[in-house]
Chains A and B, each alone.
Chain A
Amino acid sequence: MTRPEARPGISAPFIVFLALFLFAGGAASASPDPVTVEIGVVVASGKGSSIDPSLSSLRTKLQSMFNYSSYKLLDRMKRPLAIGETGDFNLPGNRTMRVTPVNAPGNKIRLAVQIMEGGKNLLTTTLGLSRGGMVLVGGPPHQSGVLILLISAE
Chain B
Amino acid sequence: MECGKVLQVLQDEIDGRLPPSVAAGVRGHMESCASCAAEAAAYRRVGELLRVWTAALEAEKAPQLDAMWTRVRAGIDERKDRGRFASQARKWFWLPAAAALAGLALLFYSSDVSRAPFNPSSFDVAVEDLESDTATVALVDRGEDLPRVIWIFENDKT
Contacts A123-B137, A125-B127; A57 near B119 (Cβ below 8 A): yes
From A8, A9, A13, A132, give the contact of B115 (CB < 8 A).
Answer: A132
Interchain CB contact under 8 A, B146 and A9: no
Q: Tell me, in angstroms, the Cα distance from A140 to B137 when the chains sit together.
A: 11
Q: How far is the CB of A78 from chain B (nearest CB, A)?
A: 8
Contact with B along A124-154 (1 / 0, CB 8 A): 1111111111111111110000100010101
From A10, A125, A154, give the contact of B130 (CB < 8 A).
Answer: A125
Interchain CB contact under 8 A, B142 and A65: yes
Number of A-B residue pairs, CB cutoff 8 Å, is 162
Q: Is chain B's binding surface mostly helix, strand, loop or mixed?
A: mixed
Residue of A nearest to B82 (CB): A6
Contacts of A128 in B (CB 8 A): 125-128
Residue A74 interfacial (CB < 8 Å): no
Interchain CB contact under 8 A, B101 and A139: no
Contact with A along B120-134 (1 / 0, CB 8 A): 111111111111111
Contacts A55-B118, A65-B147, A140-B152; A135 near B93 (Cβ below 8 A): no
Q: How far is the CB of B83 from chain A (nearest CB, A)?
A: 8
Residue of A nearest to B147 (CB): A136
Contacts of B89 in A (CB 8 A): 8-10
Interchain CB contact under 8 A, A20 and B104: yes
Interchain CB contact under 8 A, B97 and A16: yes
Interchain CB contact under 8 A, A124 and B117: no
Contact with A along B88-127 (1 / 0, CB 8 A): 0110011011001101100000000001111111111111
Q: Tell me, in angstroms, the Cα distance from A76 to B153 when the chains sit together.
A: 24
From A6, A9, A24, give the contact of B100 (CB < 8 A).
Answer: A24
Interchain CB contact under 8 A, B125 and A123: no
Interchain CB contact under 8 A, A132 and B121: yes
Interchain CB contact under 8 A, B147 and A121: no
Interchain CB contact under 8 A, B150 and A54: no
- Chain B, interface size category, equals 35 or more
Chain A residues bordering chain B, tally (CB within 8 A): 50
Q: How far is the CB of A89 from chain B (nearest CB, A)?
A: 16
Contacts of A130 in B (CB 8 A): 121-122, 124
Residue B76 interfacial (CB < 8 Å): no
Contacts of A13 in B (CB 8 A): 90, 93-94, 96-97
Q: Tell me, in angstroms, the Cα distance from A57 to B122 when the chains sit together.
A: 13
Residue B135 interfacial (CB < 8 Å): yes
Q: What are 12 A-B contacts defined by CB distance under 8 Å?
A: A10-B90, A17-B96, A24-B104, A57-B118, A123-B152, A125-B131, A128-B128, A133-B122, A134-B122, A139-B137, A140-B152, A141-B158
- Considering the complex of A and B, which 6 residue pairs feature the smallest CB-CB distances, nearest first? A139-B152, A132-B121, A134-B120, A128-B126, A17-B97, A126-B128
